[in-house]
Each structure stands twice: as C-alpha cells, then as structure tokens.
Amino acid sequence: MSIISKIDKINSFIRSHFPGIDSVPLHQPKFSGNEKKYLCDAVDSTFVSSVGVYVNKFEEMIAEFTHSAQAIAVVNGTAGLQVALRLAGVKADDEVITQSLTFIATANAILYNGARPVFLDVDLDTMGLSPAALEEFLREHAELKDDACFNKHTKKKIAACMPMHTFGFPVNLKELLAICTKWKIPLVEDAAESLGSFYHGKHTGTFGTLGVFSFNGNKIITSGGGGAIISNDINLAQMGKHLTTTAKIPHAYEFIHDEVGYNFRMPNVNAALACAQMEQLELFIESKRKLASQYKDFFKEQGIKFRTELPETKANYWLMCVELNNRADRDAFLKSTNKEGVMTRPIWRLMTSLPMFSHFQTDSQKNASFLQDRIVNIPSNV
C-alpha cells in the first residue's frame, strides 16, 4: 500500500488532535499559566534587562529540575554552546567532534570559538552521535600526548566532543562518556532539545562537563529566546556566569573587566516567561507522552515506523517523528501533508552538505544519510 493512499487517513488522524485549527503547526508555545502575571511583575519592577529576580529564580528552577549544581541563563542555546565549549577548554584551531545530523547551531558554536568541527556518523536508533563511529575515528586518527588528545594527521588538539540529543531522544551517553574519558576529551552535551529527557535515571546535560538547553519559541518550554548552561562543576559554572556577564568584576560603581566576555545574560522579562513555563513543564511532558502513545498505535496500524524512546531512557517527545521507507515516500508525505495544512518537516540536511562545512573532516555518514532521507517531524503540540 503506497504512502499516498494513506495520507488522507493520516491527515484526518492528526487533525483530530488539533480541532478548530485550519493549519496545524509543527509545534507552538502554550501559555496557560502565570506568564502574563510574571511578565507584568517584571515590567512593573523596571528590571527588564539581565538583572532581576526572575533570572535568579529561573536558574534555580533549572538546576533543581536537572539535579545539576548550577545553571546559567543566557540569551539563546547557541550562545550557551559557544560559551560551554570555551569553558571546556576549546581554543582557536582546536578540533571538536560532533555529528553532522544536527541543527546548525551545534556546528556554528564550534566555529564561533575559532575551532574546527569533525563530523561523525550517528546511530540509527538514537539519531545521535554514534559511540562506534567515535571509537573508530579516534582509533584511526587520534593519539594521546601531554595528557591530551591530538589528531595524528592534522596535528590539532581534539578539545571536546559534543553530541546532540536529537528531538529530545538521549544519545548513548554511557558509551560516549567512557570513550571520551579514555581519550581525555571533555564531553559537552548539546541538550538544546531535551529538557525533560532522562538517560538511566539522570537528566540529559548532566553527564558531560557541561550541558546546554534552548528555550526558543518552538521548544518544550520557551522564554521567547533563551538558553541555559548547566554544570556540576561549581568553578566552571561560576566562570560561565562571569563570562556571560561581560566578564565584569562585581563593584558598586566601577566598570572593571578582567577578560574578553560576552553580553549573553538572559533578560529578566524573558526569565519571567520562562519561570511560568517551568511551572508547567511536567504537564507539558505528560501531554506529549500521551500524544506519542496515540501516534505510536496509529502509525503501527499504517505500517509506518513512529520513533519512540529506547530502554533506560525517557524522552520528552519535544518533536515527534516518523521514519518513511525511502526518500520518495518522504517527499510524497511532506508534499501531501503540507498541501492539506498539516505542517510536517524533514530532518535537517547534513552539515557536511552545506558549503561552509563541506571541507571539514568527516566519515562515511552512512546512518546519517539513511535518516536524512526518511525522517519527518509531525505536529507535536500539547
């Protein structure tokens, strides 16, 4: 049975979960709590920029929810990744291992530090960085020298490894962390999409040296624009807060800065929105998991693979997705659903296919190419 013959049924099923909407969005924010109250309070306080009670409150809420030592609220997830890599020790001309199947912010953050990405393959089940691909690359290309890891061929230091939890599905952190520890490579988690996701009972972002979340308008909770860096290393976290506050030394009235920093602190008005959203996070996740369960049963009846969480993981199901049989089915699915006002989107194009990243070192990308041709996101609102 062709995919086209199933489209009407698929569109009808999806629409049944979003009644009264002409055009069903992929994901949009839901403001049903204290958002307006907290925003008005922030405005009335006149503290609307990067100093205010909601910034501190939001950092405490993120740290408590993820069981991390400290959180640093920043303007967006990309800025968080940029600073996290610097905190992990990445310097200009270093190399950072990551995946090619990712949102572009992952790769951009590496270049913002003057470093060079190395793009490795992903696992088919997690859609995230493959431990086998990492092990194979390091075995062939890396050597330990002066208590650090270097690329034998480029002579560059491999200063970090940054996997990304695709659509909120945790990568195989246990194996990745073991490999990185063996090769003395700091692990920085791009957890931008995975607030509310757990791996072996621990929240994503807490396994590496640092983790980073995004609170963009389409994420599971939003602050309009915003992100957060988390770490269980208090010294690193405090340095992160210092760097993102223009590296300004606290003083009653003097402007003294001790290094080149960033004006990356989250404004108080954004944090007010974020606090109200955090209060509802558990409800959002519960609703998403209910929708995912319904999708799973429906698509199984249609003979289409719906992506679900793996054993020993709990996914937030931020963006839900199906896996089609081939590129032709994928394209037909995308065209037909969008034509009928049901928004669907393909997974990202591989970073290695983009002109600004095409010249960096990579491997076969066999699994990433397979997924690029088949994965489609479907409406995932709560």
pLDDT at 221 over 90: yes
Strands (DSSP E) along the chain, which ranges? 70-74, 95-99, 116-120, 142-145, 148-151, 158-162, 188-190, 198-199, 202-203, 210-214, 227-231, 305-306, 313-314, 320-323, 345-346, 375-378
**Which value, in Å, is the radius of gyration of the alpha carbons in the chain?**
21
Token pair, residue 96, equals: 């950072």
Identify the pLDDT of residue 381.
Answer: 85
Cβ atoms of residues 187 and 164 within 8 Å: no
Q: Which of 96, 171, 119, 101 is nearest to 363 (CA)?
A: 119
Locate the domains of the chain by residue range.
4-29+281-349, 35-280
pLDDT in tens, 233-280: 999 999 999 999 999 999 989 999 999 999 999 999 999 999 999 999
Total residue length of the chain: 382
Q: Kindly state the tokens that stand for 277.
A: 């959203």
Confidence of residue 20 (pLDDT cuts 50, 70, 90): confident
Query: In this predicted model, what pLDDT tens digit does every residue of 181-199 receive, in sequence order?
Result: 999 999 999 999 999 999 9
210: which DSSP letter? Answer: E
Query: What pLDDT is attached to residue 21?
Result: 87
Q: Report pLDDT digits (tens) over 114-164.
A: 999 999 999 999 999 999 999 999 999 999 999 999 999 999 999 999 999
pTM of the model: 0.97
Report pLDDT digits (tens) over 303-344. Answer: 999 999 999 999 999 999 999 999 999 999 999 999 999 999
The third-level CATH classification (topology) of the domain covering 35-280 is Aspartate Aminotransferase; domain 2 (3.40.640)
Three-class SS state of 206: coil
Residue pair 50/266 in contact by the 8 Å Cβ criterion: yes
pLDDT of residue 1 exceeding 80, the answer is no
